[in-house]
Amino acid sequence: MSCSPDRAKMSHPSPSRVALIAVVLVGGAAAARAAEIQSRPEGVEEIVFAVRAFGTDGHYYANFGYFDNNPQRWAYGPGGGQLCKLDLRTGKVSVLLDDPQGGVRDPCVHYDGRKILFSYRKGGQNHYHLYEIDADGTKLRQLTDGPYDDIEPIYRPDDHIVFCSSRCNRFVACWYTQVAILYRCDGDGRNIRPLSSSIVHDNTPWMLPDGRILYTRWEYVDRSRVRYHHLWTIGPDGTGQMVYFGNMHGGTVMIDAKPIPGTNKVACIFSPGHGRKEHSGRMTIVDPSEGPDSQARVQRLGTGSDYRDPYPLSEDSFLLAEGNRILWMNGRGETHVLHAFDGGKTMRVHEPRPLRPRDREPLLPSTVDLSRAIGQLVLADVRHGRRMQGVAAGEIKRLLVLEQLPKPVNLNGTISHNTSIGGTFTLKRILGTVPVEADGSANFEVPALRNIFFVALDENDLAVKRMQSFVTVQPGEMFSCAGCHEHRTDAPHSRASPTLAALRRPPSHIEPIADVPDVIDFPRDVQPILDRHCVSCHGGERLDGKIDLSSAPSGHRVFSRSYHTLMTVKGLVSHGNDADGNRPPRSIGSAASRLMATLVPSHFDVKLSERDRRLVRLWIETGAAYPGTCAAMEVKAAAYHLTGFRPNEHYVREMKRFGILPAEFDSTRDPIDVYATDQAYWQSFWHWPREQKP
């Protein structure tokens, strides 16, 4: 889709509404500062920037789409969007695009400096789409469309585009707003496909000088949901996803990162805590030369705490936005106002970028094979890494392969959510196990574009170590790592290395686990085991040890007495949710859960079948959630698994929107299997080779 409006007919704001005022520097220190700016080697003459209102929500990521608990409420700010060009030589401002009811964001200047890629929500419409416009304000053309939000686009060196999009059809697992993850498309908007499998946000991609893409990835695989939003890299085709900086030290959002020319450093915003509205925070320089966890290589610049949208021109020169001003900052953190904007109480300036040609990064060759549904993972040594002390050679026999699952709707944004009690916020799928060789190596296939993580198991299938991050492989990709929680500066074995035992054979297929549901539901799957073996002593009128493992409602939101007892009253389950992750061996999961020690004959002759014991163990390894369906996240009674359960209107609405339920589905009358509906939703994200896709 494209459009080319007559430039003369485009709407221009009145001077009183725009009021973009060049700051005139006169005399003394101001004149010296002006001379310093004009003498910068970068030679910037023009800046392009966006003007819009802040979003209505305080979270850094919630500035597009609607809220699932109130679909009439939209997260973007009030109307008023402009794309502007500032001439630093004259102070003149040209308005390239003005929409009094729309929204403009995320400009990215093309390598030739002649056109601008940006995200635009037209007045009267609710979604942002990708657009291009020539640098003189002519030839506006639309690249993407549909009932999605496409934001934060950048050019790749081959003129294709990487951007973030809500096409992933999911909501934040601990909030009410939609998720955007990484996608790519051709330069004309065609051939869109995902690069990421994140269940929560990816943000602000930008090219690195070596051809990789730097971006912010938020994740919480059974660890703090508010502390880990750090810098990662990815190949332009989605391969080689790897941490760049952070992910071991929580407590801030690192976002809007861009490389500093002539260095290996990046400039970014440290947005405090769980992140502030529109990515505001401290201007920060990050040097990854000592590895991705060296806090000593983090340098704050300036005294402000509401900077946004840094653009490095050199190690001693940066463009920034702050409130209604465009700033220039030097390497000492001193700032100078280039322009101020009188936008009233709502309008602010965003994303100042130099409007000029720039060098293309090297084009990394793609190794993606879209005709395949799998990728390959090679692990050099499962014992190699941080906090692996005490794990003996050969102790780890296999890896449990798990998948973290996205949410089609989320209707509770507090710690007292309905997935668990103080534990996991997400459901997990059990894919199966793969062998680990005696030297600690593993070589196996995994499904492509899925959110995969692992639990290292001993000879008794008890958890030795748990991964609290995730890995994604592209179709046909071979990805290798040095160990578990290894230092990211450690190099893995090369593809051709003959020294690993696991590489002397073909890659293993994941072996499914028989007689266990791939997504475990506590009332449906675990409670019957407790009923058969435990409630005679721990339920009803008999409560030995004051332990109640009955299925009666507990009065604690939606949970049964048994679940409440296991998770809080007696703490019999170590579910793995931890603020910082990377716990010592055997400190979380099945090996650390006292429940497993009670399900043995020595405990009053309790005799579980191998299948029942396996199911309880895997329920713990998958995070010990209560429901096994996203439809039960807001249910007010524990019997959601029984016949007659009806999911709420929000779940039904989103499943219709995603095409999982038919548009004519009547939630008050038509039968529904919520477990099957969830499975169809999750499977809608699977990558199918084109010739095999149903």
Of 619, 86, 77, the closest CA to residue 355 belongs to: 86
Same domain, 301 and 397: no
Do residues 560 and 642 both lie within one domain? Answer: yes
Above 80 in pLDDT, residue 248? no
In the 8-state DSSP scheme, what is residue 548? -
Phi, psi dihedrals of residue 399, rounded to the nearest 5°? -115, 130
Residue 569, helix vs strand vs coil:
helix
657 and 599 part of one domain: yes
Q: Residue 681's closest CA among 691, 673, 693, 689?
A: 673
Same domain, 430 and 311: no
The yes-or-no verdict on residue 17 having pLDDT over 80 is no
Whether residues 551 and 443 fall in one domain: yes
Domain boundary among 324, 354, 384: 354
Residue 641 domain-assigned (yes or no): yes
687 belongs to a structural domain: no
147-173 per-position pLDDT tens digit: 999 999 999 999 999 999 999 999 999
Q: How many residues does the chain have?
A: 694
Averaged pLDDT score across all residues of the chain: 88
- 222 sits in the region (left: phi over 0; alpha: psi -120 to 50; else beta) called left
Residue 571, pLDDT > 90, answer no
pLDDT score, position 487: 52
Residue 692 has pLDDT above 50, yes or no: no
Confidence band (pLDDT; 50, 70, 90) for 40? low
Q: Are 527 and 636 contained in the same domain?
A: yes
What would the DSSP string read from start to end of 308-363? EEEEEEETTEEEEEETTEEEEE-TTS-EEEEEEE--TTTEEEEEEEE-S--PPPP-
- End-to-end CA distance of the chain: give it in Å, rounded: 28
Look at residue 501 and tell me if it is in a domain: yes
Distance CA 112, CA 159 (A): 11
- The span from the CA of 151 to the CA of 129, in Å, is 7
pLDDT given for residue 26 in this prediction: 34
If one counts every other C-beta atom within 10 angstroms of the C-beta of residue 624, the result is 28
Report the distance separating Cα 447 and Cα 510, nearest Å: 9
Whether residues 390 and 281 fall in one domain: no
3-state helix, strand, coil in the chain (%, to 5): 15, 30, 55
The larger pLDDT score, comparing residue 431 to residue 246, is at 431
422, 278: one domain: no
Of the candidate ranges 431-435, 494-498, 511-515, 611-615, the one whose mean pLDDT is the lowest: 494-498
Residues 344 and 399 in one domain: no
Model confidence pLDDT, tens digit, residues 349-389 = 999 999 999 999 999 999 999 999 999 999 999 988 777 88
Q: Please report, for residues 409, 464, 483, 519, the alpha-carbon distance to residue 248 in angstroms, rounded to integers and kept in the order given.
A: 29, 20, 16, 29
Residue 543 belongs to a domain? yes
- pLDDT at position 180, please? 98
490 secondary structure, DSSP code: S
Residue 441 has pLDDT above 90, yes or no: yes
- Report residue 65 CA to chain centroid gap: 16
At a CB cut-off of 8 Å and minimum separation 6, what does 580 contact?
A: 223, 224, 227, 248, 250
Higher pLDDT, 641 or 111: 111
Residue 37 included in any domain: yes
User: Which domain-ending residue is among 303, 322, 354?
Assistant: 354
Last residue of a domain, one of 354, 385, 404: 354
Domain of 29, CATH number, reads 2.120.10.30
- Provide DSSP, 250-296: -SEEEEEEEEPTTSS-EEEEEEETT--GGG-BEEEEE-GGG-TT-GG
Alpha-carbon span 267 to 259, nearest angstrom: 6
Per the CB < 8 A criterion, the answer to whether 144 and 132 are in contact is no
CA distance 329 to 321: 10
User: Quick one: 130 and 230 in the same domain?
Assistant: yes
Same domain, residue pair 505 and 625: yes
Q: Is the pLDDT of residue 538 over 80?
A: yes
Residue at 362 is within a domain:
no
Q: Is there a domain that residue 359 lies in? A: no
Single out the residue of 197, 222, 219 nearest to residue 455, CA to CA: 222
Domain, as residue range, for 427: 374-682
Residue 342 burial (CB count, 10 A): 12
The answer to whether residues 590 and 624 belong to one domain is yes
Side chain identity at 219, as an amino acid letter? Answer: E
Which of these, 168, 685, 216, lies nearest to 452 by C-alpha position? 685
Radius of gyration over alpha carbons of the chain, in Å? 27
DSSP state of 178: B
Residue (of 128, 113, 116, 49) closest to 83 by Cα position: 49
Domain count, the chain: 2
Query: 338 in a domain, yes or no?
Result: yes
The structure's pTM equals 0.92
